[in-house]
Chains A and B, each alone.
Chain A
Amino acid sequence: MGHNELPLFYVFHFYFFGIVAIVSAVAFVTRKSPVAAALWLVTTMFSLAALYVLLDAHFIGAMQVLVYAGAIMVVFLFVIMLLNLGHASELADGRGMWWKLAAGAVGLALLAQVFALTRARLPEALMLPENALADQVARTGAIAPLAGPLFHEYLLAFEVTSVLLLAAVVGAVVLGKRKEREHAR
């Protein structure tokens, strides 16, 4: 994908939302308070939704806002509120200095490895013609390019997903249920 034909408007917003995502992710891992961390993570997720829209994945962007920022993060905030995780012993978080330095070194090594991976040559024979996905979205709407593979090639995986969700619901109910012994206390 050459950059010259992309409008400046597009490129500016792509970098803007990418940098917002990274800055708020850094703020997320450095905040002491779990509530502040969760809200920074919501910012990261909204920026990622914007990046998805810029990458011609409009439906995934909407799902990101609805499912991640809207449902999963609300559950996280709800649990933080329920457990009342604001008091001092919980805020004394984090490890010692040596551990943090070791974690930073591991992070740098991982970053170097992932960058080496992104330099890999991509199989050009499989690449679609330029702007193929954007043209398809303009022609058939944002959902049809996703719905085609989902309900043909990946139909079995889609159906198995329902079993996964059922197992998760049953597991959450079993774990969340109070034992009779605890009622007696």
Chain B
Amino acid sequence: MLAESLFFSAVLFTIGVVGVLTRRNAIIIFMCVELMLNAVNLTFVAFAQVYGAAGQVFVFFVMTVAAAEAAVGLAIIIALFRHRQTVNLSNINLLKG
């Protein structure tokens, strides 16, 4: 089922990218990044079935990085909300020239 897994993974990754480009809510953009990580994990697991279980070890590491990223990222979003009272990225444009 390698080809099917790669198909599902490619579609999910693209949905994540389009979500990042079209949405303006910081939390939803953050969840789209998680969706992209999940799509790549599916590729890792599919290849692990064909090339050996070492690929699953990388899924383990990706999950750890995602958990760390969620903790720090959501703390940043809360700090941002305290400052600006919004998580809409259209209103957070301090660095825009």
Contacts and interface: CB of A to CB of B under 8 A. Distances in A.
Interface of A: 1, 3, 6, 11, 14-15, 18, 21-22, 25-26, 28-29, 34, 37-38, 41, 44-45, 48, 51-52, 54-57, 59-60, 63-64, 67-68, 71-72, 75-76, 79-80, 82-83, 85, 89-90, 92-95, 99-100, 102-104, 106-107, 110-111, 114-115, 117-118, 122, 126-128, 132-133, 136, 145-146, 148-150, 153-154, 157, 161, 164-165, 167-169, 171-172, 175-176, 182
Given A94-B24, A110-B14, A55 B5 contact: yes
A37 B8 contact: no
The interface residues of chain A, by DSSP majority, are classed as: helix
A52 B45 contact: yes
Interface of B: 1-8, 10-19, 21-25, 27-28, 30-32, 34-35, 38, 41-42, 45-46, 48-54, 56-57, 59-61, 63-72, 74-79, 81-82, 86-88
Given A55-B1, A118-B10, A85 B25 contact: yes
B14 A114 contact: yes
A157 B48 CA distance: 18
A79 B71 contact: no
A176 B71 CA distance: 10
Contacts of B86: 89-90
Contact of A76 (B1, B27, B46): B27
B25 to A, nearest CB: 5
Contact of A28 (B1, B19, B77): B19
Nearest to B12: A25
B53 A106 contact: no
B18 A45 contact: no
Contact of B17 (A11, A107, A157, A172): A107
B75 A176 contact: yes
A103 B72 contact: no
Contact of B74 (A45, A79, A127, A154): A79
Given A41-B35, A60-B56, A133-B53, A79 B8 contact: no
